[in-house]
Structure 1
Amino acid sequence: MKRFVSSVLVLALVVPSLGQSAYAGQTVRCESSNGQYKSCPVDTRGGVTLSRQLSSSGCWQNDTWGYDRNRVWVTNGCRAEFNVGDYQSSGHDNSNAVAGAVVVGLIGAAILANKNKKDRDRDRYYDDDRYNGGNYYQPSNTVRCESNDNNYVRCPFYGRGHVEVQRQLSKTYCQYGQNWGVERNTIWVENGCRADFAVY
């Protein structure tokens, strides 16, 4: 029993240091010059948030900027600094809860909660739930745009200009900047991307 309690105490002391070192935050600058698509390689497993916009052109997530597992991308003139993998405080708070409780079950729960949080942040680009500063919001309208036979197609829309994939219809994955995008008040698709797009 003493050995068990000692092991719990060791884990409670070790987990905070692991949480602080695993995803130490960094700042990455990524700039779309002349409206061109730009990809900036970086490890994004800890999540990405926009820290400071540098451009007069708007930077909207999944519209003029986004990220996947190994890069941040920008387009249409978005220039900004991004916080990458900055989850020290989140991991530390979970670890302090573990240390206070000194219970094996809480240690496991804290580790799983932290992992799930990082997974949700990492995969936010692929999520169908629309998220904006902690609040869910509704699109002003929906536009269906389909690249049949891999053709390049343009679909006009009305709205402020923030566009996201609402529902993918094709087997081909629709990835912004690769086989779909936005130019002024037009959505374009190609290479088999077919989807319903939400316009905000």
Structure 2
Amino acid sequence: MKRLTATLLFCAGLLFAGFSETSRADTVRCESTDGNYRSCSIDGRGGVRLSRQLSSQGCWEGDTWGYDLNRVWVDRGCRAEFQVGGSSSSSSKDNAVAAAVVLGLVGAAIIANKNDRDRRRDDYYDDRWGDRWGDPRRTFRCESNNNRLNYCGIPGRGHVEVYRQISSSRCVYARTWGVDRNRVWVSNGCRADFAVY
């Protein structure tokens, strides 16, 4: 859980840094003279909004004016002043919403990946492995009494699995039992016979 929280906070920091608003707004005048297309250089990362129309011809975003990261363009007689960057940028709210959506998607993907990994691990480490691996070389019992954490030495070397669960509490790998170097740990009431293959 700590690793997941740290990952989400890291992603949030990156996203909001990438979508942050420029603190200073610049005003750029761009004019379509004689109805011709014209572009003016800008830094559009902080967004652009039309702050003052200068022409009698209409200026409509996406029709007679628009912008990208490097320029604002005007066409068909639109002449206007544009605010570039700053907190009043029309795209700043959109950027914040986009950052929140992306952050939510990243968090959902991380959680889904973790759940899928846990599901695969549960399928991998269950008490049916005795049938798949053949007869174990050795078995030993390890018990979590009163829901306490307990460690048991592994007799010999090899792959360790739950051979037979004897508790009513489930023995789930990485949740209520696991392997730590040359010993098995159990917790939360997991009691089982373990096999070394």
Shorter-normalised TM range = 0.3 to 0.5
Q: Is the radius of gyration larger for structure 1 or structure 2?
A: 2
TM-score of the aligned structures, taking structure 2 as reference length:
0.36
